[in-house]
Structure 1
Amino acid sequence: MSIAERRERQRAERYDLILAAARELAEAEGWDAVTTRRLAGLIDYSQPVLYSHFKGKADIMAAVATRGFEELAARLRMETANVTGARDVLRNVCDAYLGFARSRPVIYEAMFVLPTKIKFASEETPTALRAAFAELVAALGPDRQEPEFLAEVLWSALHGLVVLAQSGRIPATGAEARLNVLVQKFGR
């Protein structure tokens, strides 16, 4: 391995370490606790090392969010690939989306709740976000009129369920019934 390759590998490992530390700190204390100073202390690197990877906290959150989009897209893709019936695909994709939000609340918050510089529905939209959205479109089935708009409304409904449940504004009981209603309304 050349020196340049080793340095690049070490840089990638440091990048991953920073993201993991940010996620773990946010999970333990919330995103307000995530600062470059705290992260530098947690990973035993100086703040300038962090700044060599990220401009600041906003860029770190955006990178955590982007990794979240990658994970969400993979989960949704798995659900569209493993089921054959259109209604089952839609139900499984919606359930996977809700399950992701429940199991990864801090990442979900970085992806969809907190302000970021991530561009949605534009030329600059990250590939991982496009991939996750494409799975929502695919879950609706072929030959739907205005599938992207329909997927946006589905996504909005899913996001509303997530935020209302996480904030305790709707009870945890009834989650399955709400999912069934959603699938019934958006299914064919």
Structure 2
Amino acid sequence: MSVQERKERERAERERLIVATARQLAEQQGWDAVTTRRLAERIEYSQPVLYSHFRGKREIIGAVALDGATEMAAALRAAASKVDGPRARVTALARVYLDFAARSPAVYDAMFQLDGGLAFAAAETPEPLKDAFAALLDSLGEVAGDGVDPGMFTEVFWAALHGLATLTRAGRLPPEDAERRTELLADRLAML
């Protein structure tokens, strides 16, 4: 291994450490607790080293969002591959999505609530975000039905899930009815 390859590997490892530490701190204490000073202290590097990887918190949030999108896409695909039929697929996707949002609220916020400098639904949308949407789209094509644009159907499904996740977490919807809401959504969207 050349010196240059070793340096590139070490740089990539430091970047992964920064992102993982930011994610951990955000999940424990919220995004307000994630500062470059705290991150530098936790990873035991100077702030200039941190800034050599990311221009600031916004880019770190974006990196956490991209990692989250990759994880969500994998979880959605795994869930869809284990079930047969439109209703079972919609239910499995909804459960995985809502579980991800509840289990990793800081990552979910980085993906959909905070400004990580990422574009959605645009040519410059990063691949992990496109892939997370594609994981839903690929699984919902047959569910959309004849004459319905699968992309728009997937957007409506995603918007409904996002609303459920956000409103439940904010205490606007009673958590004890979460499963009934998921079942109702599956019943209505999987009407084939």
TM-score interval for Structure 1 and Structure 2 normalised by the shorter chain = over 0.9
What is the TM-score with the length of structure 2 in the denominator?
A: 0.94
- Contact 1:80–1:139 (8 Å) recurs in 2: yes
- Note if contact 2:62-2:115 (Cα within 8 Å) is conserved in structure 1: no
* Cα distance in structure 2, aligned partners of 1:76 and 1:99: 11
Deviations 1:31-78 (A, max 9, x none): 011111111111111111111111100000000000000000000011
- Which one-letter code corresponds to 2:85 in the other structure? G
Give unpaired runs (5+ residues) of structure 1. Answer: none
Aligned residue pairs total 188
Which letter maps to 1:31?
W
Task: Determine the C-alpha separation between the residues in 2 that align with 1:116 and 1:7.
Answer: 27
Quick one: which amino acid aligns to residue 14 of structure 2? R
Q: Deviations over 1:88-135 (max 9, x none)?
A: 111101111011111111100111111231100000111111111112
Q: Which moved more, 1:69-78 or 1:22-31?
A: 22-31
- Matches of 1:114 and 1:11, distance apart in 2: 26
**Deviation at residue 141 of structure 1 after TM alignment:** 3.2
What root-mean-square deviation, in Å, do the aligned CA atoms of Structure 1 and Structure 2 show?
1.2
The residue aligned with 1:160 is 163
Once the two structures are superposed, what CA deviation does each residue of 1:149-169 show, in whole Å capped at 9, x if it has no partner?
A: 111111110000001111111
Partner residue, 2:4: 4
Counterpart residue identity of residue 166, structure 2: V
Secondary structure in 2 aligned to 1:170? coil
Cα distance in 2 for partners of 1:58, 1:36 equals: 11
Letter matched to residue 105 of structure 1: P
Can you give the 5+ residue segments of structure 2 that lack an aligned partner in the other structure? none
| % same residue | 50
Find the counterpart in structure 2 of residue 175 from structure 1: 178
The equivalences for 1:1-188 within 5 A come to: 1-142=1-142, 144=145, 145-187=148-190, 188=192
Separation in 2 of the partners of 1:32 and 1:9?
30
- Deviant stretches of 4+, over 3 Å: none
Structure 2: which amino acid aligns with 1:157?
A
